[in-house]
Structure formats: C-alpha cells, structure tokens
Amino acid sequence: MKPALQLRASQHLALTPQLQQSIRLLQLSTLELQAEIEQAVQDNPLLERAEPEASADVAEWRDTLRAQRLERTRSGDTELDDELPQAAPAPTLVEHLLAQLRLLRLSRRDAALVEWLIGELDDNGYLAGDVQAWLDMLPAELEIEAGELRTALAWLQSFDPPGAGARSLAECLSLQLRNPDVAYLPELADPAVLECARRICADFLPLLGSRDYVRLRRELRCGDDTLREAQTAIQRLQPRPGAAFAATEAPYVVPDVIVRKVSGRWRAMLNDEAMPRLNINQMYAQIVRSERGSGLADHLREARWLIRNIQQRCDTIARVAQEIVERQQGFFEHGAIAMRPLVLRDIADAIGMHESTISRVTTQKYMLTPQGTLEFKHFFGSQIATQTGGAASSTAVQTLLRQLIAAEAPRKPLSDAKLADLLAEQGMVVARRTVAKYREAMQIPPASQRKQL
C-alpha cells in the first residue's frame, strides 16, 4: 500500500484544570467547600478571606502571617503551620471500661482476664462466643479455668454502661433490668411490672417482637396494663450499650439557600453566611507583578480561578434553587401534601443546563424553609396518576400515607392493601406493592408489627 496523509476534523471536549475545578466545587457540600477553601488559603499566600475590618493589632498579626507564608513559598518551604491544639477526644468504650477496672482491687490474674474480655468487645459492647470458645482462644500454658472466666465476665457485666459484656440481646436487656433507674423508667417502680419485663427479656423477646400479645399474656399470666407498662420500659432500654461511645460526629447542615416570601411569592436567596468570600491580597499581587519569573505567577492565576469558580458555583445554586421554589410554591404554602411531581430534566430544560449539572447542584445542598431545612433533592419526586387524569407527587402520596397510618387504630392497624384502597378513595391510583415500598422507605413497619395493646 502507498503511504498517504489524511486530514480529519473532529470535536473533543477538553477538561481544562479550570473546568475540572469548577465541576468539583459544584458537587461539594457547604462544609466540604469551607474545608477546601481553608486549605487553599493556607497553601496560597495571595488568597485571603473577605472579613470585617479588624483592629490594628489583629490586622498587623494577620499581615505578619501572610508575609511568613509568602517567604516560605519563595524559598520552596511549603510545610504547613503548626496545628492549633485540639480538644481532648471523648473516651472510647474500651477506655471507659478500663478506667473502671483500675479502680477495683483485683488480683493481677483476674484483672488481666477482665482486660482481655474488654478487648474482645465489639463496637456495640457485645462479646462473641461463650466461655468454652474463649478457653480455646487463650494459651493453654496459662491454665485458665472456666470459673475464672465466668468471674471475669461477671465483673465486666457489672461495669457502666449497663449491658456491656452481653453475648445476646436478651442478656443485654436483662443486665439493664438488674438494678434499673426508676427515675428514667418509672414503670419499673412497680415490682409486678419489673418482674414481667425481666421474664420477657429472658424468655419471650421473640413473642414481643412479633406482637403476639395473646400468647404473652397467657405465658406471663398478667393483665393488659402490666404488659403494656413492661413493653414501654423495654422499648426504652439500650440494645447497643456501646453506641454512646462510638466515634461518630453529629450531622451538621448549613443551608445554602434561605426561602422567604416576598410580595406574595416565595423566593430563594443565597445564605450569605454559607457563601465564602475570597479576595486577592493586592499588596502581594503587586509584588508578583513586579517580580516576573519569580514562580509566584501560578499562585496568582490559581487564586483568580478559584474566586471565579466559587462565584459561578453560587450563581448556579441560586438559579437552580429559584427554579425549584417557583415550581413548588404549593409546598411552601400548604406543606408536603401539595408537592408537585418534579424530575431533574424539568429543571435542566428550564434553565438551559445539563441534567448532570443539576444532579451535582442538588446533592448535599440544603434550603432553609418554613417546614425545616431540606435537601434540594427532597423537592423531586416521581409522578403518580390520579383518577381525574392528573398527577400527584410521590412525596405527596407518602405524606398522605403517613397521615393515614398515624390516624389508624392501634389495636387494628391498616394493612398495605387497605391503605391502597384508602388512597384510591382519594383519587390516587397506587398498587399495594407501591404502598409497601413507600412504607419501607419511610421506615414504617408492617401492620403486624404496628399492632399495640
């Protein structure tokens, strides 16, 4: 074959670093964005937060820190400043139990066995296996006897929190009923109720879980009032005693948008406290311009990119939020029962953006509304047909389902089929399986588990 040259015209989408940064910032939550900006301000001496005017001393201190960062950047030293001292972390479950163990005057052998059992606890405070399994795990040369392990287990199960060291849910609840706090559980001040609760936890938890009250009354030989109070007390016990010591942070949400009523219409306004403001330090920018080839020009360009992309992020969130509010005016007037069907494509077509962009904007972004702080995605829902030929939002259907279940008779809860019939009476055509799906999504148990005395 003869060699030849050919020219072809084609289009390719080039993801420049600036575009990549814009996409990444758009999908960050407010808290993640704040952390990103904090890191950028530390790394780039030309960036500064737009803050209220500070006193002369504070301003001088801040300029000194910026000058030090600039000097480190010029010299190639990018090491971060020493971190501020942090508050002491809360003790873990193991640390909490070991602290109690140190207060006891046990022999070294007994204390070592208790400490070993503490080390075997899972995050919920439970022990796996039994005494024989633990004997098999321990070295044979220690010559540990089963009685020693049972004694160590008894010591562990006497520690706070009550229920720690249990090997099953029944044992965990029974441990908490040994010496209950009647101030927290006033029902247990009655000896009959306390005895009933102890017998349920020890022998009849499956019957209580299945709401088989007829058989429970027959086995326990107690009346409805005693059984009801025992059930109430058991429901307030802690099935996972180690959960209070889990190293989890409480969820904290900063609303990106505040919805207010202005001139009879609901409007979405950006939350100024959640929108970061950055400036370029003009003094250092002038130094960069005068020292061409110093290597700091990249920092100035990156600072401008970041400020521009943050502003674009704010504008995009504002446009999407306002379009959502415009389409869900009924929700803000009458609540979730008036929510309209809405999908990402509706917003994308309305404001001329791609669906993927709308998906990024509506993820981990929140509105502060009269009904509470809600994620943008809360306002989207599939369409349910009505008998009149219209459409209802799945959110509205779920709200109506929750109202029907809240109003049901405790002794005779509504089945999924009956709920579907009640929805049909109100003009909403919903299959029984759809009702079950919505009920499970709202974490509402089936009728057999909602039955009460």
HEC string of 370-385 equals CCEEEEHHHHCECEEE
Nearest to 38 by CA among 47, 46, 29: 47
Average pLDDT over residues 153-173: 95
Average pLDDT over residues 209-238: 91
* Candidates 1.10.1200.10, 3.40.190.290, 1.10.3720.10, 1.10.10.60; CATH matching 383-450: 1.10.10.60
Average pLDDT over residues 37-60: 70
Confidence (pLDDT) at 87: 55
Band (pLDDT 50/70/90 cuts) for residue 65 is low
Band (pLDDT 50/70/90 cuts) for residue 14 is low
Confidence (pLDDT) at 313: 92
Confidence (pLDDT) at 54: 46
Confidence (pLDDT) at 389: 61
**Residues linked to residue 100 through DSSP beta bridges, in sequence order:** none
Confidence (pLDDT) at 83: 44
Asked whether the beta carbons of 309 and 301 are under 8 A apart, the reply is no
Average pLDDT over residues 89-106: 91
CA separation for the pair 448, 453 (Å, rounded): 12
HEC string of 86-127 equals CCCCCCCHHHHHHHHHCCCCCCHHHHHHHHHHHHCCCCCCEC
Average pLDDT over residues 114-120: 94
Residue 160, class by beta-carbon neighbours within 10 Å (0-12 exposed, 13-18 middle, 19+ buried)?
exposed
Average pLDDT over residues 121-141: 91
Confidence (pLDDT) at 447: 87
For the chain, domain boundaries: 93-245, 257-379, 383-450
Name residue, tokens 């009458």.
Answer: 334
Name residue, tokens 């706070």.
Answer: 160
Confidence (pLDDT) at 21: 84
Confidence (pLDDT) at 177: 96
Confidence (pLDDT) at 113: 94
Least confident of 68-72, 170-174, 217-221, 299-303: 68-72
Residue 292 has pLDDT above 80, yes or no: no
pTM of this prediction exceeds 0.75? no
Confidence (pLDDT) at 84: 43
Band (pLDDT 50/70/90 cuts) for residue 51 is low
Report residue 145: phi and psi, to 5°.
-100, 160
